[in-house]
Amino acid sequence: MGDVFKALADPTRRTILDELTARDGQTLFEICGRLTTNHGLTSSRQAVSQHLDVLERAGLVETRREGRYKFHHINTDPLEPIIERWLRRRTTCGSD
């Protein structure tokens, strides 16, 4: 779970996940374009690539090679334990 929180601690990485929620399955080029034009972020392509590596190591982003292209997909599975640990439990308590 530590990797997930570390990955989410950075605002640019959270914004990348926002944009992958808006459209899942993007090339590095599209992600960079969206960060620049939709959010005014000026991270270099290399910096964005490194952010994606962190997200991928945390399991929040998966890459898919399709032929010669590489697409990035969001994976929210690593967020489930957070819900299980705090949110669902609170809901259960509240319903007692």
Partner 1 sequence: MAEEEDDVRIRLTSVLVDDQDRALRFYTEILGFEKKHDVPLGEDRWLTVVSPDDPDGVELLLEPSGHPAAKPFKDALVADGIPFTQFAVDDVRKEYDRLRDLGVRFTQEPTTMGQTTTAVLDDTCGNLIQLAHQS
Write out the residues near partner 1 by the rule CB under 8 A.
23, 26-30, 33-34, 36-38, 45, 68-71
- Minimum gap (Å) between residue 71 Cβ and partner 1: 8
Nearer to partner 1, 3 or 30 (CB): 30
Shortest distance (Å) from residue 4 CB to partner 1: 26
Indicate the residue among 67 and 94 with the shorter CB distance to partner 1: 67
CA 41, CA 26: separation in Å to the nearest integer? 17
- Residue 61 has phi, psi (to 5 degrees) of -130, 135
Residue 21 CA to residue 76 CA, distance in Å, equals 10
Q: Please choose, from the candidates 29, 23, 22, 20, the residue with its C-alpha nearest in 3D space to the C-alpha of residue 75.
A: 20
Of 1 and 22, CB closest to partner 1: 22
